[in-house]
Amino acid sequence: MSPDAFSLLCWRRLGPADRDRIFALHLRAIQGMGPDQVRPESLEFFEALLDGAGRIIGACDPDGALVAYGVLQDGPDPGTRPDLWLGWPFDARIQKLAGSSVAAEYRGQRLQRELIRRRVALADPDAYLYATAAPSNPASWRSLLGEGFEIRRLRRVYQDTLRYLLARRAGPRAEPAAPAAGDGALRLEGLSLDEQDRLLSCGWRGRPAPSGCVLVPPEAFE
């Protein structure tokens, strides 16, 4: 990809006529990845989103080929209660960043960050936003951390596979204070998943740090 290829991309909201190429890009993007890393979606999933269950934005190259997409879903996944898991008000307006793919030849250009920024901007200004990302898919959760999401829980979802739940409010980004030295923050990568689960359940939150990600204890931000 040439240095200015990013600036030549055309961004737009995708519609029902884009269904098949979104699905084709999804299948190409997740090739070689298991359900423990990324949830394989069905054609019907994208169809429902394009039919009013949410919105899908996409970036096309100058030839019109779809090279990236991101899904903003209205409401949580059916049968799940992120409001209870995350302590949100019972009447919270919930929207989910429900998946994205970047074509292999466009990776490493922070396109996913752009997909996240654009979906946050598209969300209702008072919405509570969440996303899931597998611990084994750091490209996915690091981008979310970089765009103001915090790791809030570790749960088994999607046919019993492990996912971080990341959340933030819509609207202008509330920059979390960088964890200060000595505030008890722990490097995420140095902790077992069981230990991460225990701390997140006690209210610790995952935030970006120069060294990657740190878990910050509740007393550091309450």
Ligand X SMILES: CC(C)(COP(=O)(O)OP(=O)(O)OC[C@H]1O[C@@H](n2cnc3c(N)ncnc32)[C@H](O)[C@@H]1OP(=O)(O)O)[C@@H](O)C(=O)NCCC(=O)NCCS
d(CA 27, CA 160): 21
32 versus 182: smaller Cβ distance to ligand X: 32
Closer CB to ligand X, residue 125 or residue 190? 190
Least Cα distance to 1 among 71, 57, 68 occurs for 68
Q: How far is the CB of 75 from ligand X (least distance, A)?
A: 18
Alpha carbons within 13 A on the beta-carbon side of 76 = 22
Tell me the C-alpha distance between 65 and 10, whole Å: 10
Give, in order, the Cα–Cα distances in Å from 188 to each of 89, 192, 205, 212: 28, 8, 10, 8
Asked if 112 touches ligand X (CB under 6 A), the answer is: yes
Among 130, 143, 199, 206, binds ligand X (CB under 6 A): 143
Minimum distance from residue 137 beta carbon to ligand X (Å): 5
| 1 near ligand X (CB under 6 A) | no
Angle between helices 138-146 and 111-122 (to 10 degrees): 50
For ligand X, the binding residues in 30-89 under the rule CB under 6 A are 30, 38
Compute the distance between CA of residue 171 and CA of residue 79 in angstroms, rounded to an integer. Answer: 27
CB-CB contact of 70 with 99 (8 Å): yes
Pick from 54, 58, 82, 99: which binds ligand X (CB under 6 A)? 99
Question: Which C-beta is closer to ligand X: that of 93 or that of 142?
Answer: 142
**Binding of ligand X by 111 (CB under 6 A):** yes
Closest to ligand X by CB, 102 or 120? 102
Q: Which residue has the tokens 């701390």?
A: 199
Near ligand X by CB under 6 A: residue from 92, 142, 176, 191: 142
Q: Which of 35, 40, 108, 218 binds ligand X (CB under 6 A)?
A: 108
| 102 contacts ligand X (rule: CB under 6 A) | yes
Secondary structure (3-state) at 182: coil
Name the residue number minimizing CB distance to ligand X. Answer: 108
Residues forming the site for ligand X (CB under 6 A):
29-30, 38, 99-102, 104, 107-113, 137, 139-140, 142-143
